[in-house]
Structure 1
Amino acid sequence: MDLKNRNLVDPKRAKRVAIVLANPSVNTVAGWPCGFWWSELSHPYYVLTEKGCEIELFSPNGGRCEPDAMSDPRDPNGFSTADLISMGFIHTPTLMEALEHTAKVSEIDVDRFNAILVAGGQAPMFGFDKATDLHTKFVEFYEAGKIAAAVCHGVAILRYAKLSNGEYLATDRTVTGFSNIEEDFVDDALWNANLLPRGRRLMPWRIEEELNSIGANYIQAGLWRGFAVRDGNLITGQQSVSGIETAEVVAAALGL
């Protein structure tokens, strides 16, 4: 193979991380639009760029990506009001412009990057089943010995990612992701606010249940506690308050 003109990872230059966001979708359970979660983009972006990483944004289909409303610190719901890191991202024009023009996941040249990080939000639960290019790229990173990471509902990728031998990537590996107790908390809050019929779950399936069903060793740190775990070059973060922890584990794995 002629590598002369290929822009490969150079150990002397900054580490490169591909952050993947879900494209806008619809929560078919609740009937509302959904997308990525702000803190699962902005917090890793902040941590990793502060450590000198170069970040590029991708999505399965490319193009504009939109956040879940509850994750926006400006939203009247007040859920994310204290998220000053996301507010800083929102008020940085060049970063917001990047969200309008994400590249397609299929365009990721794995040789150019040291890690892939899949952010969550509601949209992965309704669109990642069709994101076959993402399934493939995530496994390519992993099988190349590079960091393959996901946080919160971005961990949905592990329901679909299979190794070249046909086995699930997550089987026999220690992982985390949005927990059942957190899903229960969200469902209960929506029921009490009359935003969802009582007894109906917001998500069509659950990360913890699915990971256990494919033979993963699922663990979690408790309700809304920042937590991330590394098993070899697979890194997973528990939920939306785990963006910083996930990025710190990724950075450590990259030797930063």
Structure 2
Amino acid sequence: MDKIEAPENLIPYSKPIQEKSQDKVEIRFDDSKIRKDLVELRNDFFNKIQELQTFEQKLATELYNFKSQKVEINEDELISKVLQKMPPTSITSTPTSIDEESIISKVLARVPSGGNKVYEVAPLVKITKDFLEEAKNKVLKDIETLGNDAKRLLKYLETKQQGIKVPEIITKCYLLKEGGSQRTKVSNASKELRSIEVEKVDTAGFHRGILKERIKFYLENHGATDQEIENIYNHILMEMLQ
């Protein structure tokens, strides 16, 4: 014990200061509604593809049926009608000799030879008109499925012919005051229009009517003129007013 020397300096022991642990708050984002909307959009997309494929298949079938139509010529009936047009010989008139065989030969010479002697009729104008009529009915049928709010919104967008924001739609289209329920009303109506591809909403939130573009999509492939597209567009607008 006598040999133990006292230290000249004593360094006090210090315990390091521990930082207080902060509880982490985990924020979870409920994306169930977004997932649901994505599923609906996906289903709508594939349904529209199926409708277009069915529509094109129907048009192709009708085109084939038109092309396969044939008009047969009944030679006996044709000869009979020609002979009926010949002037009858009377007792008082000078008898004339009619060479029936020569007439028949000349008539038959004008009938196409080979096969069953048929004429193939290709009414291209009628086919085109039928396609235009079916395309018009297709758009009309889609519009008939819309609710009243969606139809009102479509008519308003088509009259404006420009991008419209939600506040204007609420106050000037539906004549309501802005509010949460009114925005939901616009959202639901817009979703209906987009489901039949007669409206689009850009990234800036502008709603635009594209009814004429939808009509043009169906008709321009069949050689429809701008005037025909305009006529069908006006016809559909008139149907919406009824």
Specify the TM-score bucket, using the shorter chain as the normaliser: under 0.3
Higher helix share: 2
**Rg (Cα) greater in structure:** 2
TM-score by structure 2 length? 0.22
TM-score by structure 1 length? 0.21
**Larger RCO: Structure 1 or Structure 2 (Cα < 8 Å, ≥ 6 residues apart)?**
1
